[in-house]
A and B are shown apart, each in its own frame.
Chain A
């Protein structure tokens, strides 16, 4: 008692707030919410998207009213009945994808479960993936070749289909190669010829030898075209078989074998076979062109367009942002003006992206593109060459949109470089430029890459400004192909983000397209992650090179 009298107590002070315990909980819950949201989003997208490619069983429903229906179960829900007395059993209905859009008019039908008498999965139901009209569910009852009957009866016809289909696909691919390769080249040449002729007319050149030369060239091209077209017809004639189809509802239809992409007896497939088909479906999705106004087929052009656009954007935005940051931080006299510029740059990042789109449309497309057309492509007018949306203009617009991010990161990187490092270089007789080029720039590289990562992530997900600067629902050709000069940056392109919007909200067949929204989203996320990982790996290498292990 005597010793501690009058001295401050050493005992721990009480008080929950003071201990900091609640703060730990608050910070922890913040993190938990963020993690929950990210995983929730991923789960939603994955759960909805990944099932799309699975070859589910086809059920055959026999209804109470005597009708029959074959299809895949797409959804099941309770029938809402607000007036029901308590205790009445719940009633359910199922949404069946019956396919056969050409025959029945609609892809999906709702069926009351109470109206179903029996539900079976017969092993002989055939699923045909067709080039038009979506899937067919039912049976092949005959295979004919003109007047000759190749097979008759469900079993025999199926065997015949399996036998003939590979050849039919080969023929289709050969025809496609012919169309895209030689015939495309001839068309390309013909268009060039047309423009050249128009140019001659504009220049008012006399109808001299030059024009005669063009005429001769055109005749040669036309002959070539006719020859190729005949060849194409001949190739196409290689598949003449016609299938006679029969649906569960008793309708029949004739379908040329060339219209069939894949044929499966899904119900008879084992798990392994289904997994194989799943992988094939995924591959087809990422590697094929879209069909049926984007609701079927693949999204390869959209993947290509997205990646190319992001790459062009990166190539433009990096030097632009870095140079700006260098001027702001290294050369500009720090003061109110520079501070104002800096604030303005930071605020640019908050301008709605559609505003950038409008600017891109007005400046890049109408002004720059229009001027280029008038100066260099007068022969094509009034059809614009550069004065219309294209992948270059879209990329430039996105560069403007993302340049603030790069500037800010590069500036922060520059500010973090110790003064001693610059002084060391200057003290060794380097000029300011040499110091920046040899010491500062390498040291600031990781920060620049950080900025680029953020910029790429933003650019890959941006849709609004693209819609008015060059994205289209369906682009006839990729911006890169085999015809000189190989890069056609004036072309319109497809983009995964826009594809999501288009398929999900602009599609004539929303029910069928909805799963594609999710699969496309997965793809877009994967692409953003892949692009970012590349940059992160490069940055990691640089950092390891720059920094030591020891300190």
Chain B
């Protein structure tokens, strides 16, 4: 929970090997954290997702790729029910997180979002100080203890690899940060509430290559503690950071497999065309 645990403990890789025995074989099995079965989704009359079947392993990075409008962002926003904010949406099929149906009638949306944090395409810090941005989620949860907030702020900022850059100006406006720093601040803000899953919606699309590289490193480190689902337009990025990749097309999940499989020997022709850029 604190700074010590943030730095990857050496014992983690073997542990992970134990939880996912024989990972070289075909994709995810054993205790998936997120599980979709025949999940479909509509914006009003328009169907955006068709019968998605998908499993996301715990402490892994899953990437969603595909052309614009293919439904990958929609699916991501379904995972923490951000789509509820839009009028006239509905869904079918099941979406389970740690075994619980996310769309069951008695589910509290607010607690869902606490467990599945989100980082948006456009960094969206609040017009508050850096400190207040990071501890916002904790304040919402009613945390008042200054020491707890300060510690959480530090560990979240360390987790987002931003601490060294901002530790002397926590009280300054978050809007004075650079684009890349702002995005890492948004990641820190999401980490501060200790979610199980971090959903990232094209987190690097507005950043330059250097800032992008930093965030990718960060994703790599975060996977030790969090389950990450990332939507990206950048296929190299998907190849670099993810363990599993899903390719979406017109609201359908065309192919879902280990990343190296998707990028080296995809089963579907469509996937291959898209990945190699031969896509019309």
Give me the interface of A with B, judged by CB distance under 8 Å.
418, 420-421, 423-431, 434, 438-439, 442-443, 545-551
Q: Does B193 belong to the interface (CB within 8 Å)?
A: yes
In the complex, are the beta carbons of A428 and B175 less than 8 A apart?
Answer: no
Closest approach, in angstroms, between the C-beta of B152 and any C-beta of chain A? Answer: 13
Chain A residues whose CB sits within 8 angstroms of the CB of B118 once the complex forms: 423, 427
Chain B residue with minimal CB distance to A420? B124
Question: Do A420 and B175 form a contact, CB below 8 Å, given A428-B113, A438-B140, A546-B127?
Answer: no
Chain A residues whose CB sits within 8 angstroms of the CB of B136 once the complex forms: 425, 428, 430, 438
In the complex, are the beta carbons of B113 and A548 less than 8 A apart?
Answer: no
Q: Which residues from 13 to 47 on chain B have a C-beta closer than 8 Å to any C-beta of chain A?
A: none
In the complex, are the beta carbons of A426 and B85 less than 8 A apart?
Answer: yes
Compute the total of residue contacts between A and B using a CB distance below 8 Å: 82
- Determine the distance from Cα of A92 to Cα of B180 in the docked complex, in whole angstroms: 80
Chain A residues whose CB sits within 8 angstroms of the CB of B127 once the complex forms: 421, 442-443, 545-547
Interface of A is mostly: helix
Give me the interface of B with A, judged by CB distance under 8 Å.
80, 82, 85, 110-111, 113-114, 117-118, 120, 122, 124-128, 136-137, 139-141, 173-178, 186, 189-190, 193
Chain A residue with minimal CB distance to B111? A429
Chain B residues whose CB sits within 8 angstroms of the CB of A545 once the complex forms: 127, 173
Question: Do A429 and B193 form a contact, CB below 8 Å, given A424-B186, A438-B136?
Answer: yes
Closest approach, in angstroms, between the C-beta of B169 and any C-beta of chain A? Answer: 12
Q: List 26 A-B contacts (CB under 8 A).
A: A420-B122, A421-B126, A421-B127, A423-B82, A423-B85, A423-B118, A423-B124, A424-B120, A424-B124, A424-B189, A426-B82, A426-B85, A427-B117, A427-B190, A428-B136, A428-B137, A428-B140, A429-B113, A438-B140, A545-B173, A546-B173, A547-B175, A548-B174, A549-B176, A550-B175, A550-B177
Chain B residues whose CB sits within 8 angstroms of the CB of A550 once the complex forms: 175-178
In the complex, are the beta carbons of B124 and A439 less than 8 A apart?
Answer: no
Question: Do A431 and B110 form a contact, CB below 8 Å, given A421-B124, A424-B126?
Answer: yes
Q: Which of A425, A427, A429, A548 is within 8 Å of B126, CB to CB?
A: A425
Most buried by A among B139, B140, B177: B140
In the complex, are the beta carbons of B85 and A429 less than 8 A apart?
Answer: no
Q: A429-B114, A548-B173 are in contact. List 8 more A-B contacts (CB 8 A).
A: A423-B82, A423-B85, A427-B117, A427-B190, A428-B190, A545-B173, A548-B177, A550-B175
In the complex, are the beta carbons of B176 and A551 less than 8 A apart?
Answer: yes
Closest approach, in angstroms, between the C-beta of A442 and any C-beta of chain B? Answer: 7
Closest approach, in angstroms, between the C-beta of A126 and any C-beta of chain B? Answer: 66
- Determine the distance from Cα of A437 to Cα of B31 in the docked complex, in whole angstroms: 40
Most buried by A among B110, B125, B127, B141: B127
Closest approach, in angstroms, between the C-beta of B187 and any C-beta of chain A? Answer: 12
Most buried by B among A418, A429, A434, A550: A429
In the complex, are the beta carbons of A418 and B126 less than 8 A apart?
Answer: no
Closest approach, in angstroms, between the C-beta of B141 and any C-beta of chain A? Answer: 7
Chain B residue with minimal CB distance to A429? B114
Chain A residues whose CB sits within 8 angstroms of the CB of B111 once the complex forms: 429
Chain B residues whose CB sits within 8 angstroms of the CB of A430 once the complex forms: 110, 136-137, 140
In the complex, are the beta carbons of B113 and A427 less than 8 A apart?
Answer: yes
Chain B residue with minimal CB distance to A440? B126
- Determine the distance from Cα of A545 to Cα of B173 in the docked complex, in whole angstroms: 7
Chain A residues whose CB sits within 8 angstroms of the CB of B174 once the complex forms: 548
Chain B residues whose CB sits within 8 angstroms of the CB of A442 once the complex forms: 127-128
Chain B residue with minimal CB distance to A334? B87
In the complex, are the beta carbons of B175 and A434 less than 8 A apart?
Answer: no
Chain A residues whose CB sits within 8 angstroms of the CB of B113 once the complex forms: 426-429
Chain A residue with minimal CB distance to B128? A442
Closest approach, in angstroms, between the C-beta of A550 and any C-beta of chain B? Answer: 5
In the complex, are the beta carbons of B173 and A429 less than 8 A apart?
Answer: no
In the complex, are the beta carbons of B176 and A429 less than 8 A apart?
Answer: no
Chain B residues whose CB sits within 8 angstroms of the CB of A548 once the complex forms: 173-177
Chain A residue with minimal CB distance to B179? A551
Closest approach, in angstroms, between the C-beta of B216 and any C-beta of chain A? Answer: 22
Closest approach, in angstroms, between the C-beta of B79 and any C-beta of chain A? Answer: 11
Chain B residues whose CB sits within 8 angstroms of the CB of A421 once the complex forms: 124, 126-127
In the complex, are the beta carbons of B140 and A429 less than 8 A apart?
Answer: yes
Chain B residue with minimal CB distance to A422? B85
Chain B residues whose CB sits within 8 angstroms of the CB of A426 once the complex forms: 82, 85, 113
Chain A residues whose CB sits within 8 angstroms of the CB of B137 once the complex forms: 428-430
Chain B residues whose CB sits within 8 angstroms of the CB of A443 once the complex forms: 126-127
- Determine the distance from Cα of A551 to Cα of B177 in the docked complex, in whole angstroms: 8
Chain A residue with minimal CB distance to B172? A548
Question: Do A428 and B120 form a contact, CB below 8 Å, given A421-B126, A423-B85, A438-B136?
Answer: no
Chain B residue with minimal CB distance to A443? B127
Chain B residues whose CB sits within 8 angstroms of the CB of A438 once the complex forms: 136, 139-140
In the complex, are the beta carbons of B175 and A551 less than 8 A apart?
Answer: yes
- Determine the distance from Cα of A332 to Cα of B114 in the docked complex, in whole angstroms: 27
- Determine the distance from Cα of A425 to Cα of B117 in the docked complex, in whole angstroms: 11
- Determine the distance from Cα of A429 to Cα of B193 in the docked complex, in whole angstroms: 9
Chain A residue with minimal CB distance to B124? A420
Chain A residues whose CB sits within 8 angstroms of the CB of B175 once the complex forms: 546-548, 550-551
Chain B residues whose CB sits within 8 angstroms of the CB of A420 once the complex forms: 120, 122, 124
Chain A residues whose CB sits within 8 angstroms of the CB of B128 once the complex forms: 442
- Determine the distance from Cα of A434 to Cα of B126 in the docked complex, in whole angstroms: 13
Chain B residues whose CB sits within 8 angstroms of the CB of A546 once the complex forms: 127, 173, 175
- Determine the distance from Cα of A51 to Cα of B25 in the docked complex, in whole angstroms: 97
In the complex, are the beta carbons of A428 and B117 less than 8 A apart?
Answer: yes
- Determine the distance from Cα of A547 to Cα of B127 in the docked complex, in whole angstroms: 7
Closest approach, in angstroms, between the C-beta of B162 and any C-beta of chain A? Answer: 16
- Determine the distance from Cα of A425 to Cα of B178 in the docked complex, in whole angstroms: 21
Chain B residues whose CB sits within 8 angstroms of the CB of A428 once the complex forms: 113-114, 117, 136-137, 140, 189-190, 193
- Determine the distance from Cα of A183 to Cα of B257 in the docked complex, in whole angstroms: 95
Most buried by B among A418, A424, A425, A547: A424
Chain B residues whose CB sits within 8 angstroms of the CB of A551 once the complex forms: 175-176
Most buried by B among A426, A427, A428, A546: A427
Chain B residue with minimal CB distance to A418? B124
- Determine the distance from Cα of A424 to Cα of B186 in the docked complex, in whole angstroms: 8
Closest approach, in angstroms, between the C-beta of A30 and any C-beta of chain B? Answer: 35
Chain B residues whose CB sits within 8 angstroms of the CB of A549 once the complex forms: 176
- Determine the distance from Cα of A421 to Cα of B139 in the docked complex, in whole angstroms: 17
In the complex, are the beta carbons of B173 and A427 less than 8 A apart?
Answer: no
Chain B residues whose CB sits within 8 angstroms of the CB of A425 once the complex forms: 126, 136, 140
- Determine the distance from Cα of A173 to Cα of B25 in the docked complex, in whole angstroms: 102
- Determine the distance from Cα of A546 to Cα of B190 in the docked complex, in whole angstroms: 21
- Determine the distance from Cα of A442 to Cα of B132 in the docked complex, in whole angstroms: 13
In the complex, are the beta carbons of A439 and B110 less than 8 A apart?
Answer: no
Chain A residue with minimal CB distance to B126? A439
Chain B residues whose CB sits within 8 angstroms of the CB of A434 once the complex forms: 140
Closest approach, in angstroms, between the C-beta of A32 and any C-beta of chain B? Answer: 38
Closest approach, in angstroms, between the C-beta of A217 and any C-beta of chain B? Answer: 54
Closest approach, in angstroms, between the C-beta of B18 and any C-beta of chain A? Answer: 32
- Determine the distance from Cα of A421 to Cα of B114 in the docked complex, in whole angstroms: 17
Chain B residues whose CB sits within 8 angstroms of the CB of A547 once the complex forms: 127, 173, 175
